[in-house]
Amino acid sequence: DTAVSQTPKYLVTQMGNDKSIKCEQNLGHDTMYWYKQDSKKFLKIMFSYNNKELIINETVPNRFSPKSPDKAHLNLHINSLELGDSAVYFCASSNRGNTDTQYFGPGTRLTVL
């Protein structure tokens, strides 16, 4: 059983395009996150939603827009993709607010050409 799933696993696209990444968790967690991992493996939080409410919004370009239709889903839409957006994007979820263990999805490798 997949706990945190992401689609697609790989995404190759041209600069200027708009793309979305979807995330779903079946753990019953109340909090979900998006992280960006760059080529040097540095992992940085982008957004966090608790019970569908945005609680963390780091300094990311407003071309990135998260959307949480319900507690089990957190999608990431990216407008006007740039070369620097190339990275692996990880979705994660946790329970009891943000104090518990994070469960990560398999990642989406985004390549912008």
Partner 1 sequence: AQSVSQHNHHVILSEAASLELGCNYSYGGTVNLFWYVQYPGQHLQLLLKYFSGDPLVKGIKGFEAEFIKSKFSFNLRKPSVQWSDTAEYFCAVNARSGTYKYIFGTGTRLKVLA
> Which residue among 11, 87, 105, 112 contacts partner 1 (CB under 8 A)?
105
Can residue 93 be called a binding residue for partner 1 (CB under 8 A)? no
Can residue 72 be called a binding residue for partner 1 (CB under 8 A)? no
> Which residue among 25, 32, 34, 48 contacts partner 1 (CB under 8 A)?
48
Gyration radius of the chain over CA positions: 13
φ, ψ of residue 84 in degrees (nearest 5) = -70, -5
Q: What is the smallest separation between the CB atom of 1 and partner 1, expressed in angstroms?
A: 15
* Cα distances (Å, whole numbers) of residue 25 to 9, 42, 68: 15, 24, 12
**Dihedral through CA 25, CA 70, CA 11, CA 8, nearest 10?**
40
Cis peptide before 61 (omega within 30 of 0): no
> Which residue among 28, 39, 41, 70 contacts partner 1 (CB under 8 A)?
41
Amino acid present at 29: H
Q: What is the smallest separation between the CB atom of 84 and partner 1, expressed in angstroms?
A: 18
Contact residues for partner 1 (CB under 8 A)?
33, 35, 40-45, 48, 55-56, 90, 92, 97-99, 101-107
